[in-house]
Chains A and B, each alone.
Chain A
Amino acid sequence: DGGITQSPKYLFRKEGQNVTLSCEQNLNHDAMYWYRQDPGQGLRLIYYSQIVNDFQKGDIAEGYSVSREKKESFPLTVTSAQKNPTAFYLCASSIARSARYEQYFGPGTRLTVT
């Protein structure tokens, strides 16, 4: 597949620990996104970045943090402040942050916090 990768596929953490999910793309896309996918709730936007060193909060940013130091990378940290961190996390990218461009999705990371 290539394009956009997420690692690891499965991640387990104890409650109270921060955890960082990796997202890398080699598509030369400017924009990158993080979503959370929960059954019955669809995809909800956590954060997005239009360009290096810039990012904006999405609908459910509380308890999460991101960085965009390189164009290819957009890691997501799930902090201990996130009340319900167990979920499936999807990373995506697009050519630019514009309503007309499609998004390319990674395979996802399933995080389980106990």
Chain B
Amino acid sequence: AQRVTQPEKLLSVFKGAPVELKCNYSYSGSPELFWYVQYSRQRLQLLLRHISRESIKGFTADLNKGETSFHLKKPFAQEEDSAMYYCALRSLTFGQGTILTVHP
């Protein structure tokens, strides 16, 4: 069975601080992992995917197969990063979401 766990429902940091949103997955095959973001009054949209190994808006995420994790990281959080973040596995399975608030 596929499962995605985001252990933190809420995460608060101050501007300029590092931020890490945790994502753990359960899947026996080769995982395809994504991070989606939903800013206030905007649609849910793709932030990044593991296969691209890219950095978007300063965010990176590394797939760790040993720990079955795909944590999202940013070294210096900005107020505009405040949003709901979802980790997704193989297109159909989403985590519970983490609401990130970056305080000025």
Contacts and interface: CB of A to CB of B under 8 A. Distances in A.
A45 interface: yes
A98 interface: yes
A40 B92 contact: no
B91 A98 contact: yes
Interface of A: 1, 33, 35, 40-45, 48, 58, 90, 92, 94, 97-108
A100 B88 CA distance: 11
Contact of A106 (B9, B43, B94, B97): B43
Contact of A99 (B46, B90, B97): B90
Interface residues of B, number: 20
29 contacts: A1-B43, A33-B92, A40-B9, A42-B6, A42-B94, A42-B96, A42-B97, A43-B44, A43-B86, A43-B94, A44-B94, A58-B92, A92-B44, A94-B91, A97-B91, A98-B91, A99-B32, A99-B90, A99-B91, A100-B32, A100-B51, A101-B91, A102-B49, A103-B46, A103-B91, A105-B36, A105-B43, A105-B45, A106-B43
Q: 10 closest A-B pairs (Cβ-Cβ)?
A: A99-B90, A42-B96, A43-B94, A99-B32, A105-B44, A102-B46, A42-B97, A105-B43, A42-B94, A100-B32
A111 B48 CA distance: 30
Nearest to A58: B92
Contacts of A1: 43
Contacts of A102: 34, 46, 49, 91
B59 to A, nearest CB: 15
